[in-house]
C-alpha cells in the first residue's frame, strides 16, 4: 500500500457521449456534434464510426452535411451538465475525495483511492469496477491508476482501457507521450522544438540545473511532470447528490410514443442511480419545454416509493394520456426525489395485501375518468362552513396506529342531501316541523348557533342551527335555517 494512490477517469468526446447515453440506438451510427452559432457551426466531437466516414474536428456544417450517412446533433450545454453530474456521481461511489480536471470537450476526474484496497480490492480490480460502472451509466471511459496525480491524468488521456502504473515506473510510462501533452506556451514549445525535444522521455533526460537556468521554474515543473515526481495539492470537490436527467431533442417531438421511448431510458437511469444508494423514487417531476418557450409539467407521486421501471413508465403513459402537452416537445427534464421503501411483515395466516403499484394505477385511471379534484383523500378545511373540505393526493400511511379503548359516543348521522322541511316558529323558536308526510312536535329546542362568512363572494353563507328533541321519538334532530334562501332543512339525526 502506497502513501498516495490516484485513479483518473477520462471520458473522450464528452459532448457526444452526453447526447448518446440516453439514445442507445445511435451508439453504432456515425454521429457528430456541431458547436457554435448558425451558420458558423463546426464539428467539435464525433465517434469512431464518424471518423471512418471522414469526419474531423473543425469541419463546417456544409462540409459535414456533404458526408453521406453522417448524423449531426447540436451541442447542448444543459445535457452535458446533467451527464457530468451523473459521471461525478458514479465516481463518488468509490471515493469521497474527487478533483475535476478542466477539459474543453472531455470529462476527467481524479479520485484519491489510497486506503480503499480493503473495500474494493487491488487497483486493477477497482479500475475494472469503475469502468464497468461508468459503462452501465452510458459512458465510455479510460482508467489510469498511479501514485502520482499528473501521471494518472496523462496516462488516462493518452491510453484506452485500463492502465496500472506501479510506483517508480512513472517516468518510463510517460516517456513515449508527445510533448504536446503538456500544453506548453508557444514560445517554450518552439524552444523545445529547436532543441529536438519532442517527447516527455526526452524532456525528463535534460539536466535540471541547465534547464532552470534557461527556462526558469516553469522548466523545472515540466521536467518533474515528465519524470512523474511533481507533487500535487489535492483540491477535492463536494459532489451534490441530485436525481435529475435531461435530454434535448434534435427535432421537436409530437408523438407520445417517442417521448415515452426517451423517458424510459431516463427513468431507468434514475432507478439505477437510486438503487446504488439503497433508495427508491418517491416523486418524479417531468418538465417538458415546448415550442414557443412554454413549460408543461407532470408530477408522478406513487403511494409508496418504488424502483419498478415498468410501473413508473405505465404511470407516465396514463398521465400523458390525461394531460397531453399542448405543443411539440423540444427538451425533457425528469427530476426525482428519493425515498426509502417500506417493508411490511405479514403474519402466517393473514391474506396477502394488494400491491401498491396496482393502487397507483387504479387512482391514475380514476383521475383520467372523473378528474383529479375528485380522487384522493378528503381533508377538512379550517372554516365554519358546513361540509367544507378539499381533496389531497392519496398516500399510504405505513405507521400503524395503536388501538385505543374508548367509550361509545353519540354519532351524528347526516342526511345527504339535506331534507327540506316546513317549520312553524313561536317567538323565533321552532315549535313544530313538517317533512311532507306528518307533523312533529318539538319538545325542546337549543339554539340558535349562527355561522356566516365569505360575505364578499358568491359562496357566502348565513345559517342558524337548532338541536331539537321530538317528544314522540325521544330523538334529537338538527334543523338548519338558511337565512340567505329563507328555507329550513333537516340536516342530521343524532344516534
Query: What is the DSSP track for 466-477?
Result: EEEEETTTTEEE
Residues 6+ apart with CB under 8 A from 317: 256, 260
Taking residue 40's Cβ as centre, other Cβ atoms within 10 Å add up to 9
Which pLDDT score, from 0 to 100, does residue 240 have? 78
Task: Determine the Cα–Cα distance for residues 411 and 328; give it in Å rounded to an integer.
Answer: 55
Task: Give 338's strand partners.
Answer: 281
pLDDT score for 25:
82
Q: What's the pLDDT score for residue 305?
A: 86
Across 170-197, b (16+ Cβ under 10 Å) vs e yields bbebbbebebebbebeeebeeebeeeeb
Pairing of strands 71-74, 31-35: parallel
Q: What is the DSSP letter of 461?
A: E
What is the model's pLDDT at position 480? Answer: 92
CATH architecture of structural domain 6-167: 3-Layer(aba) Sandwich (3.40)
Low-confidence ranges of the chain (pLDDT < 50): 1, 398, 400
Grid coordinates of 247: 435530454
Cβ atoms 236, 99 nearer than 8 A: yes
272 preceded by cis ω (within 30°)?
A: no
Query: What sign for the dihedral angle of Cα 405, 406, 408, 412?
Result: negative
Q: Where are the beta strands (DSSP E) in 61-127?
A: 71-74, 98-101, 107-112
Q: Please count the CA atoms within 13 angstroms of the CA of 461 that sit on its side-chain side.
A: 14
Residue 245: CB partners within 8 Å, gap ≥ 6?
Answer: 22, 82, 86, 266, 269, 270, 333, 334
Domain spanning 242-342+356-396: CATH 3.30.1490.100? yes
Domain edges within the chain: 6-167, 242-342+356-396, 412-494
- What are the beta bridge partners of residue 453? 461
- Give me the pLDDT at residue 158, please: 92
Cβ-based neighbours of 370, under 8 Å, separated by 6 or more: none
Query: For 33, how many CA atoms within 13 A lie in the half-sphere containing its CB?
Result: 22
Cis check: omega of the bond before 448, within 30 degrees of 0: yes
- At 386 the three-state DSSP class reads coil
Q: Are 255 and 342 in contact (CB under 8 A)?
A: no
Count Cβ neighbours within 10 Å for each residue of 57-96 and write b for 16 or more, e otherwise.
eebebeebeebeebebbebbeebbebbbbbbbbbbbebbe
CB neighbours of 164 closer than 8 A, spacing ≥ 6? 123, 124, 127, 144, 145
* Nearest-angstrom CA–CA distance, 413 and 495: 7
What angle (nearest 5°) sits at the alpha carbon of residue 69, between those of residues 63 and 72?
60
E strands present in 23-179: 31-35, 42-46, 71-74, 98-101, 107-112, 141-146, 162-164
Which triple of cell numbers denotes residue 100?
475535476
Angle at 416 between CA 410 and CA 420, to 5 degrees: 100
Amino acid at each position: 500500500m502506497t502513501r498516495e494512490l490516484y485513479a483518473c477517469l477520462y471520458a473522450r468526446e464528452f459532448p457526444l457521449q452526453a447526447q448518446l447515453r440516453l439514445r442507445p440506438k445511435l451508439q453504432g451510427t456515425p454521429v457528430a456534434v456541431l458547436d457554435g452559432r448558425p451558420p458558423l457551426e463546426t464539428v467539435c466531437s464525433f465517434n469512431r464510426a464518424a471518423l471512418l466516414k471522414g469526419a474531423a474536428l473543425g469541419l463546417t456544417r456544409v462540409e459535414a452535411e456533404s458526408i453521406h450517412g453522417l448524423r449531426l446533433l447540436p451541442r447542448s450545454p444543459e445535457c452535458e451538465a446533467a451527464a457530468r453530474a451523473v459521471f461525478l456521481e458514479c465516481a463518488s461511489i468509490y471515493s469521497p475525495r474527487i478533483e475535476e480536471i478542466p477539459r474543453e470537450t472531455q470529462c476527467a476526474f481524479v479520485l484519491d483511492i489510497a486506503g480503499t484496497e480493503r473495500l474494493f480490492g487491488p487497483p486493477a480490480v477497482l479500475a475494472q469496477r469503475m469502468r464497468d460502472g461508468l459503462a452501465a451509466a452510458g459512458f465510455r471511459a479510460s482508467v489510469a491508476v498511479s501514485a502520482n496525480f499528473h501521471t494518472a491524468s496523462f496516462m488516462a488521456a493518452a491510453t484506452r482501457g485500463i492502465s496500472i502504473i506501479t510506483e517508480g515506473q512513472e517516468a518510463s510510462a510517460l516517456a513515449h507521450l508527445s510533448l504536446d501533452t503538456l500544453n506548453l506556451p508557444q514560445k517554450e514549445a518552439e524552444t523545445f522544438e529547436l532543441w529536438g525535444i519532442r517527447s516527455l522521455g526526452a524532456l525528463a533526460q535534460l539536466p535540471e540545473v541547465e534547464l532552470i537556468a534557461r527556462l526558469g521554474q516553469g522548466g523545472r515543473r515540466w521536467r518533474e511532470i515528465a519524470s512523474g515526481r511533481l507533487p500535487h495539492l489535492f483540491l477535492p470537490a463536494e459532489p451534490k447528490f441530485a436525481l435529475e436527467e435531461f435530454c434535448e431533442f434534435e427535432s421537436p417531438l409530437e408523438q407520445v410514443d417517442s417521448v415515452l421511448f426517451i423517458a424510459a431510458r431516463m427513468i431507468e437511469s434514475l432507478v439505477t442511480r437510486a438503487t446504488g444508494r439503497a433508495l427508491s423514487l418517491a416523486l418524479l417531476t417531468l418538465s417538458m419545454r415546448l415550442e414557443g418557450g412554454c413549460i408543461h409539467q407532470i408530477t408522478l407521486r406513487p403511494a409508496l416509493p418504488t424502483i419498478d421501471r415498468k410501473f413508473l413508465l405505465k404511470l407516465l403513459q396514463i398521465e400523458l394520456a390525461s394531460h397531453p402537452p399542448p405543443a411539440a416537445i423540444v427538451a425533457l427534464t425528469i427530476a426525482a426525489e428519493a425515498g426509502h421503501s417500506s417493508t411490511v411483515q405479514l403474519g402466517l395466516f393473514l391474506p396477502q395485501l394488494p400491491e401498491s403499484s396496482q393502487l397507483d394505477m387504479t387512482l391514475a385511471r380514476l383521475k383520467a375518468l372523473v378528474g383529479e379534484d375528485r380522487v384522493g383523500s378528503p381533508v377538512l378545511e379550517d372554516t365554519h362552513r358546513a361540509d367544507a373540505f378539499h381533496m389531497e393526493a392519496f398516500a399510504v400511511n405505513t405507521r400503524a396506529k395503536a388501538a385505543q379503548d374508548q367509550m361509545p359516543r353519540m354519532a351524528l348521522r347526516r342526511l345527504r342531501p339535506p331534507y327540506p322541511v316546513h317549520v312553524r316558529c313561536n317567538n323565533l323558536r321552532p315549535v313544530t316541523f313538517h317533512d311532507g308526510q306528518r307533523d312533529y312536535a318539538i319538545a325542546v329546542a337549543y339554539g340558535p348557533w349562527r355561522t356566516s362568512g365569505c360575505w364578499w363572494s358568491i359562496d357566502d353563507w348565513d345559517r342558524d342551527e337548532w338541536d331539537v328533541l321530538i317528544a314522540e321519538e325521544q330523538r334529537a334532530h338538527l334543523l338548519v335555517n338558511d337565512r340567505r334562501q329563507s328555507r329550513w332543512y333537516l340536516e342530521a339525526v343524532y344516534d
